[in-house]
Every structure is written in C-alpha cells, then in structure tokens.
A and B are shown apart, each in its own frame.
Chain A
Amino acid sequence: MSGLRVVLAEDAVLLREGLVGLLERFGHEVAAAVGDGPSLIAATREHRPDVVIADVRMPPDFTDEGLRAARELQAALPSLAVLVLSQYVEQTFAEELFDARGASGMGYLLKERIGDVEEFADALTRVAGGGTVVDPEVVRQLLARRRDPLRRLTPREREVLAHMAEGRSNAAIARALVVTEAAVAKHIASILTKLDLPPAPDDHRRVLAVLAYLRG
C-alpha cells in the first residue's frame, strides 16, 4: 500500500522534519506535522488521515500525551490506524495499547527503529492495513517475562515467534531468517502446539493469540 495520508505528531523539530522527508521519500503524503497532543487531535479531525504517527512523550507535560491523544482519536474514529513511537521500552504502555483495542491498525515502536527506514516504512504500511506491529525489543521483554512455557521452544522457534508477534507473514519471516516458507510453517505449527494454541489460518489472529498469551 502506498500513498498514505499521514498526520505526524513529534515535538522534536529535527526529528519531525526528518520524518516528513522520510515519509515523502516513500511516497506518502504528510497532511500535517504537529508538536503536541491537542494539535494532533485537531489536525486528525480536520485531515482524516489513513494513519497517525504519534510520539508518546510530548508537551506540555512530557508524560504520555501522545498515547492519550491516540486513544481519544481511536475512540472517535474507529477505522484510524495509529503508530506510536516511544523513546524507551515500556511494557505497561504496550499492554494498555493493545488492550485498548483489538490491536488492529496499531503499532508500538521504539523511536530508534525509525533509523531502519525500510522496516519502518514497512511497519507503517502494515499498521495502515489493519496489522499489528510490536517493537522487537518489547517482544523480547514480554518473552523474558513469561519464560516458563516458552522455555520449551527452541531458539529458532523463539525467533520465529518474535517475527510473528511483529505481524509478519510466513513469507516475510522466511526472507528474514533465510529459510524456506515451508520451514517457517513447520516452526509455527510446532510453536502453536507447544504453547497449546489452536492453529488459525489468519495471520492477524495468530498475532493476537500470541500477544494475549504473552500478556498472561
């Protein structure tokens, strides 16, 4: 999917300008780029974008304005996709984010992930398409917390699970791990068996199941 309409909220000017450049480089249209929560809400209501990119911490309080604005917007505009950027890994943010909504069209990425421009653009597209994107670092920590049942997984299976949790398709996982798609399918079947999850054909539901399980 290309040519998305994006509203961007980021208070650091340097980064905001950079992000605008990046998004335009990938053929998206930045309808508005703002620096705080209230402006984000106003701009989104005005421009009705396909996707909102919001920094978690913004003026005036520098706590979680971006997150709160995103939730308010999603309540008002259920079809809106939101990609939240955070400066640090915060499990409780992630949990609240994915609890608030069925995790469709929702992403939570560490800010530094923007540097991997292609992956970032890819993540944005997946979120806009109703997918779920969780930062690998968050996934790693969630995995670390619920390690007991996951101990049975082989390192390779854990890698595959991490990619699954990021909302990737079997083909994408196969490419990332440089294995065949059939091997990925086999790993996933094994993971679902080991985690007592009934196999489901839909990639998106699979991610939800994994996340729900990881959240405990």
Chain B
Amino acid sequence: MSASTSGATTRPAARPTVLAGSAAIGEAMIAAGCRFFAGYPMTPFTEVLEHMAARLPEVGGVCVNAESESEAIGMAWGAAATGTPAATGSTGQGLSLMQESLAEIVHARLPLVVLNMARAQGDYHQATRGGGHGDYRHLVLAPCDVREAVELTGYAFHLAEYRRSPVLVMGDYYLAHTHVSVDVRPTDFGPLPPRDWALDGSSGGTGAAKLISPLSDRKQRHAGDRADAGYDLAEFYVRRGAALERMVAETEPRAETGFLADAEVVVIAYGTPALYVRQAVSDLRALGRRVGYVRPITLVPFPSDIVRAAAADARVVAVYENSGGQMVDDVRLAVLGAAPVRFIGRLSLDPSGFGIAPDLDVGAMRHRVEALFEPAHETPSR
C-alpha cells in the first residue's frame, strides 16, 4: 500500500485545531501511521469510525465498514498480518464480541491498536483481564482527556509494533465528544524492530514460507517426511508465555500523582472521572485536608509500585470508579493490606449507556472523600 503523505501534511490537524475527541484520536492514529481501520457503528465509538472513513482514503489508507464487531477485528487482524499499522475498536458490548479474536491476535503476535470508547468504567475487567480465552495479556492505556488521548494513541501504535502485540486504549463518552484545541503531530517514540515477519506472499516457494498463527510462528519442516511433523504447541506456548511476561515487566507503568507528601487519605481514579477527583482533592487541600491522589495511566501494567508507595503512610486509600468497583481489586493487590481500601465510586448501569454524567460531580466527590476522614473508615475493610 502506498501511503501518500500529502493529506497528512496539508490538513489543518498539523497545527493546534479545535477538534472533537474522536476526531483528535482519529488524527492521532493517522499521524502514528495507521493505514487500516475497520469498525461497526456504536456510540460513542461511531464518530471515530466516521472520521477514519473520511480521512483514511485521503492518506492512501483503507477504512472498511464491517458488518459486525467480530468482522471488524477480523479485518484488522488480516491487515495487521501484512505489516500495515492497523486499528479497530468499539464500545463495551462491541468489545465483548471482539474478545475471541483479540485473544488469538495476542498469541499470533500481531501489532494492533484497539479502542474502547467506553460509556462508563464497567469495562475495566474486560480490558485488563480480558474476556477472551487462554492465557493472554495485552497492554492497556487510559487517557483522562483529549490531549492525553492524542499522545497515548501515538504511544499505543509504537508499543503495539515494538511488542508485536495488541494495545488497548480506554476512551469514553466524554473523551469522544469533548471539543478541545489540540496539536496532532507524529511523535518519535524511538526505533522499532523491522517488520520482517509481515506477510506479502513473497516467501512462498522458498522452503521457508512464513506463518502467522496463534498456534505457532514457524512451520516444523525438519522432521523429515514424517506424519508427526506438526506444530510444537508446548514449545510455542512456553515461549509466548515468557514473552508476554517480559512485555508487561518491561513496559514502564505510568501514573499521575498529586499532593502525596503528607497525605492521610489517598484517592485513586483513572480516565475522565479522575479529572473530577483531582479537582475535589485540590479543593480539599485548599481547605487544609491532607489528601492526595494517584491516577493510573497504564492499566496494564498497573502502576502498583506507585500506588503502594502512596499508601505506605496513608490512613485510608479510596478508589473512585464510575462502575461497581473493578480497579479496586488491583489497588488492593498493590496496597496488600498496608492501609484499608475503600470503594467510593458509583455503579453505572444505565442501559442507555449514557449514565456516566449524573455521578460526575466534584461537590459530591468532595463529600465522599471528606467522609473518609471520619474515624469509622480507619478499620480495614478486608
């Protein structure tokens, strides 16, 4: 595929422009080299798809309107296998349909960026534990605003290719629909390994034709003319397991922290709600409350060391999520009983999917955090 650069350089996106979050993420994908996108409309992922459908052809790329989410990720899987930087995504339920393929793509070692423009935060377990089969992991990034989403989208393409693995970017409804002034341009995250694994048909007939499979990365040709010349699954899975472990261990966990120095109460939140938590915490600081916060930016790997350090001298650690409480598990694992961990979030089960709004109220959050200073919260809850 020839990727024309003219579109990318002449578009206004190359300088600060007011864009909706979904368009900004789309531009960030294009700036990062994405030339294949497939998706199926589902609010609030829809606008990303619309943007890519309009923009990718202008830069020599391809956007396919898939007939379902499972086909969208299948198409992206095929595109990724050719070495084309590719992305797909959906919203919560759509991602559920994609999990089957996502699990296989991890084992097939293909770079792919997957967006979850989630409606609230109930997809945390889906994103970080996975809903697919088998023993797989992939990296997960969680921006809190449009500018960070632009940066992390570029980083996701870099990580995906560097690690030859899918990377999931957790966006949300607010992120998709907020208009901000952003400067989308390619960021250099460092050198990438060659794409010598990609399929183009040319290795056929050489005696070493390439294979991309969740079952193996090489054909067993040296067993001679024997019927047992099959895939060596055990050997492959051991290698894959070690590589996944290495990927998680070697990727730097990221988190934003604030007011931790003498914090008695530490609040942990990620994504859009973290902005409200940050405001509530700084309001309380202004009132003299010793409260701090940690905002995980990488959900996999989870910034456990940062959370553990923040909890070391705290009286109580609180987790805010716009869900029934899912990241709270990771926080408890990080804190390991050093301080009681309280969940102060709210369920978001609004079937319309737009229930994120009523709970995002700085005043309400401030009250919940303030309540943590009462003695009842000092006993461990676990």
Partners in one complex: no
